[in-house]
Amino acid sequence: MLVLPHGATIALSEYGDPAGAPVFFCHGWPSSRTMAELADDAARDLGVRIISPDRPGIRDSQFQADRRLIDWPPFLNEIADRLGIERFRILAISGGAPYAYASAWMTPERVEKIAVVSGAPPLDEVDDLDGLLPIHRRMLVLRQSRPRLLKILFQLARPFVALRMPIRLRPLLLKFLQPCDANVLRESRAFDICFESARQAWRSSAAGVMVDADIYATPWGFPLEEVRAPIALWHGTKDRTFAPRLAENVAARLPNCEFHLVEGAGHYSLPIRYIREILADLMT
């Protein structure tokens, strides 16, 4: 737990090699800092220090009302300063992508390279919502038409999504996923990492998760064309959360991007099965 100079409290966890090259991890949504455990074994082998903070209002980090995406880079820089880190790389999964892009855009002098895996695109710029999961499409519609109802639904959902899922119910959940994702999540460690980090995201309140969600559908505050740091963008051909064509559009807009479209990989299976390759590439 860190108390930053302006008074905010940020919780973080570290994985990998404590003496290794620093990589900040941007967790997905709804998720929290322990999602970075997916990279723990690979980071130890590769000599990488993974530093994973909870975003404000998520899990154990202090809530920040009216938070914007571009508020994140100063937070990240303060964390790096406290840890004595001048330059670093960033690994972002799914909903962590906008935070990685924002940091590379605002502080290019500190961000050496970023890797984005199964990353979220700027949702306010997506015209074809068919490339999103049905639940995400419905949330976007409610956000525009009935925002108060959406807020109530988040609050009603919290007591249920914050519960630990009984083992006997896991096969039922896996039936809703792509076969490639379901297969990899049948491994208990992978399931526990992904869904425990999501469950813990709701620890403080529904408000932090809601603010995080709203940021995705709000203009980010900068154009992707101005993110000039080296970027490795990884996406699976079987990703149903964000269709591959959305990732291709993002890659085309980034001026210094290497796009890796992985055949047969899904939203979950890509970061789980390919994390060693992704992390090794990030460190080159």
Full set of structural domains in the chain with CATH: 2-282 (3.40.50.1820)
What rounded mean pLDDT belongs to the chain?
94
* pLDDT, position 163: 77
Please compute the mean of the pLDDT values over residues 104-109 and round it to a whole number.
97
* pLDDT, position 240: 95
Identify whether the C-beta of residue 254 lies closer than 8 Å to the C-beta of residue 233: yes
Please compute the mean of the pLDDT values over residues 196-208 and round it to a whole number.
90
- Between 174 and 12, residue with greater pLDDT: 12
First to last CA, the chain: 30
In the three-class reduction of DSSP (H, G, I as helix; E, B as strand; rest coil), residue 21 is classed as: strand
The two tokens of residue 106 are 């605002």
* pLDDT, position 252: 98
- What is the model's pTM? 0.95
Please compute the mean of the pLDDT values over residues 20-43 and round it to a whole number.
97
Reply yes or no on whether the pLDDT at 21 is more than 80: yes
* pLDDT, position 161: 83
* pLDDT, position 3: 82
Identify whether the C-beta of residue 77 lies closer than 8 Å to the C-beta of residue 83: no
Residue 85, Cβ neighbours under 10 Å: how many?
A: 16
Picking from 122, 134, 140, the residue whose alpha carbon sits closest to that of residue 253 is: 122
* pLDDT, position 168: 76
Reply yes or no on whether the pLDDT at 166 is more than 80: no
The two tokens of residue 44 are 């130890």
Reply yes or no on whether the pLDDT at 165 is more than 80: no
Per-residue pLDDT reduced to its tens digit, 248-258: 999 999 999 99
* pLDDT, position 209: 94
Top-ranked range on mean pLDDT: pick from 150-154, 174-178, 274-278:
274-278
Reply yes or no on whether the pLDDT at 203 is more than 90: no
d(CA 131, CA 221): 23
* pLDDT, position 171: 82
* Contacts by 179-187, CB closer than 8 A, 24 or more apart: 180/236, 180/238, 180/264, 180/265, 180/266, 180/269, 181/238, 181/266, 181/267, 181/268, 181/269, 183/269, 184/268, 184/269, 184/272, 184/273, 185/268, 185/272
Please compute the mean of the pLDDT values over residues 22-32 and round it to a whole number.
97
Reply yes or no on whether the pLDDT at 145 is more than 90: yes
Reply yes or no on whether the pLDDT at 66 is more than 90: no
The two tokens of residue 226 are 């101005």
Q: pLDDT grade, residue 232 (50/70/90)?
A: very high
Percent of the chain clearing pLDDT 90 (strictly above)? 83
**How far from chain centre, in Å, is Cα 148?**
26
Reply yes or no on whether the pLDDT at 204 is more than 90: no
Whether a cis peptide bond, with omega within 30° of 0, leads into 30 is yes
* pLDDT, position 1: 81
Reply yes or no on whether the pLDDT at 205 is more than 90: no
Reply yes or no on whether the pLDDT at 169 is more than 80: no
